[in-house]
Structure 1
Amino acid sequence: MSDHARATEGATNRTPAPDILAIVGPTGTGKTDLSLAVAERLAARGVVAEVVNADAMQFYRGMDIGTAKLPREEWRGIPHHLFDVLDVTEEATVARYQPEARAAVDGILSRGAVPILVGGSGLYVSSVIYDFRFPGTDPVLRERLEAELAAQGPGMLYRRLLEVDPAAAKNIGASNGRRLVRALEVVALTGEPVSASLPEEPVLWRPSAIIGLSAPREELTARLDARVERMWSAGLVDEAAALIPLGLERGVTASRAIGYAQALAELRGDLTRAEAIAQTQQLTRRYARRQVSWFKRYPGIRWLPYDGDGLADGESLTDAAIAAAALDRL
């Protein structure tokens, strides 16, 4: 437990302030804006906060428009961690992310500050706040599995995983080749099902408060569709084109990012602009639904309306988040 959490414990019977505040929820609900507002409100009380990124696509340098990445000049003097840490040719993996994110959290706590973990990539968030173990990788084994994926397609890997780890296979599905490769790699390296590295009941790594931002489905759909259109208007295709010489098309993770994959298809002539936008909108809506399903499983999560609608009279979303996370006790 950190010093700021201990300071709230003992004198009263109230729940102590957490070590980590996680702000999660589907894309397009204003997680970044809330993190900044909370950090500024805490600063006004003399409490420093720092942001730790948990959005896998915002790790990539140059992938700004399509990830809605906040420009550095808009950080408002608040320290941010794990943004722009990967080239587009590098693979984003939770096994690599977890120790780096936890080191950032430990560093923030050692400075007496509050870590605010922000993002919608569910597994990445979970890897920080929960006691998950992620086995390493074997380059030779990985290369062999990826060669099999390229030669025979994901169906064959899915059937193989179904034999050795049915739960993981059903969770991943038959079409996600990248995750099927990783699951088979873990099984081969550990001799155990993938699920063996995840606790049956989530156990917190450190005391954490989790705030989820929610929006009515129809309202969120409209926001997401408009957001995609703004990305195209802001120059997403030009951004993708500028990343091609840097290896975007070779990136295992980056090239498949929603929006960038469609922008590349438009540049190749495989999709018209209208088709690229429509496909990105459809995939973004589907991704948002998966995010909601993922975060709903978190025990103890406190859901708040993204626009503050329905809160107590005079209470802002920022105030509600700080109170719900017990950070008003710092």
Structure 2
Amino acid sequence: MTRPAPVAVVGPTGTGKSDLALDLAERLRGEIVNIDAMQLYRGMDIGTAKLAPAERRGIPHHQLDVLDVTQTATVANYQQAAAHDVEEITERGAVPIIVGGSMMYVQSLLDEWSFPATDADVRARWEAFLAQRGVAAVHEELSRVDPEAAASILPTDGRRLVRALEVVEITGRPFAASAPRIGEPRWGTRIIGVDRESTELDERLRLRTRLMFERGLVDEVRGLIDVGLREGVTAPRAIGYAQVLAWFDGEYDLDEAQERTFIGTRRYVRRQRSWFRRDRRIRWVDGNDPDIANTVIRGLDDIRMLGER
């Protein structure tokens, strides 16, 4: 039996990827595989715009709520777990709909990124540098030796900044040089990018941020503190969660926490656009298209034959 090819729905935050993924899954006998790093965490729901179970239309979802906030999300671990999910879905004759915007996670899964070895001494030295000088100094150092890597990693993500510096030092090459060459996507995946005009997307992000705070992001963060959010490495640096934690610590007021969340999201969108636009395999569609799912499917004749509902 010929296995169905996956469809990946990628692009900037707030463009409508989740709704499109659900529509495609309904039409293509699909199951959804999350590729948003922060949606891996249990309890991080409001601030990550994670679909509630009742909103998932009865469609199986994978790689959601698989980590506690005290655990560290890594690209390598995700790659292994998500690849297993994709292959099990295709074995059932269903179409994996891979959806999200975490840039390195996307490339690791679709291009079988082989990760460089680690060096405990080098890693320890950069971790000590992070502890002594702070994340801004680490980001500045990475910008000096590898500007492209610095531009693709959140300036607040000390763990990934340290990892990039470790790889640069070990290999003597830019961090991106360890990435795979972009070729035929793994499993023959068709990659769809969703985007919107910048001014409109900014308005959507501002509304989305406001609604997150109105719907209980502060209480969500407070509850996650009780189960170890502050002790985590990755989770407390997520956009929105980091700003609420800073408000709890008296660094600024709640209005500023909300504004900083919006600004941080908008900056992240710019990095996502820069990253994904370099990938010429992506077929871009307009998030405003009222018939977007059918527009996508019309361009995927071989997938449509696998069993549209």
TM exceeds 0.5?
yes
Number of the residue aligned with 1:280: 261
1:6-155 matches, within 5 Å, as 19-42=5-28, 48-135=29-116, 137=118, 142-154=123-135
Separation (CA, whole Å) in 2 of partners of 1:210 and 1:173: 22
CA RMSD of aligned residues (A): 2.5
Match of 1:321 among 296, 299, 304: 296
Q: 1:159 to 1:174 in 2, by over 3 A?
A: farther
Aligned residue in 2 for 1:12 = none
**1:194, distance to aligned residue in structure 2 (A):** 3.1
CA shift in 2, pair 1:296/1:135, >3 Å: same
Fraction of identical pairs, as percent = 49
CA shift in 2, pair 1:253/1:159, >3 Å:
closer
| 1:120-153 residue CA offsets vs partner (Å, 9 max, x unmatched) | 1111111111132123556675444312211134
- After superposition, the Cα gap between the structure-2 partners of 1:250 and 1:130, relative to the gap in structure 1 and judged at 3 Å, is same
Q: 1:293 to 1:169 in 2, by over 3 A?
A: closer
Matched, 1:292 2:273: yes
What do residues 43-71 of structure 1 show as CA deviations (whole Å, max 9, x unaligned)? Answer: xxxxx311000000100000000000011
Measured after TM superposition, the shift of residue 179 of structure 1 is: 2.6
Q: Are residues 217 and 59 of structure 1, via their aligned partners in 2, closer, same or farther at CA, if it must alter by over 3 Å? A: same
The aligned runs of 1:151-300 (5 Å cut-off) are 151-154=132-135, 166=146, 171=151, 175=155, 177-187=158-168, 194-300=175-281
Rounded Cα–Cα distance in structure 2 between residues aligned with 1:57 and 1:203: 27
Give the counterpart letter for 1:123 in structure 2. M
Matching residue's letter, 2:297: I
Q: Report the AA paired with residue 304 of structure 2.
A: D
Please tell me whether the aligned partners of residues 95 and 135 of structure 1 are also in contact (alpha carbons under 8 angstroms): no
Residue of structure 2 in register with 1:16 after alignment: none
Q: Is the 2:142–2:150 Cα contact (8 Å) retained in structure 1?
A: no
Q: Which residue of 1 aligns with 2:2?
A: 3
Once residues 154 and 212 of structure 2 are traced to their aligned partners in structure 1, the CA distance between those partners, rounded to angstroms, is 31
Once the two structures are TM-superposed, the CA of residue 168 in structure 1 deviates from its matched residue by: 5.8
The TM-score, its normalising length taken from structure 2, stands at: 0.89
Structure 2 residue runs without a partner (length 5+): none
> Which structure: larger Rg?
1
Amino acid at match of 1:325: L
Q: Structure 1's 261 and 41: CA in aligned 2 closer, same or farther, altered over 3 A?
A: same
Question: How many angstroms apart in 1 are the aligned matches of 2:165 and 2:195?
Answer: 35
Q: What is the CA-CA distance between 1:230 and the residue it aligns to? A: 0.2
1:131/1:173 Cα in 2 relative to 1: closer, same or farther (>3 Å)? closer
- 1:3 is paired with a residue whose SS is coil
Three-state SS of the structure 2 residue aligned to 1:270 is: coil
For residues 156 and 292 of structure 1, what CA distance do their matches in structure 2 show? 25
Contact 2:9 2:21 (8 Å CA) reproduced: yes
* AA aligned opposite 2:159: R
Contact 1:167 1:195 in 2 (8 A): no
Aligned partners of 1:25, 1:298: CA distance in 2, in Å? 11
**Compared with structure 1, are the counterparts of its residues 160 and 285 closer, same or farther at alpha carbon in structure 2 (3 Å cutoff)?**
closer
Could you list the per-position Cα deviations for residues 89-146 of structure 1 after superposition, in whole angstroms to 9, with x for gaps in the alignment? 1111111111111111111111111111000111111111113212355667544431
1:12-52 superposed Cα distances (whole Å, 9 cap, x missing partner): xxxxxxx110001111111111111111122xxxxx31100
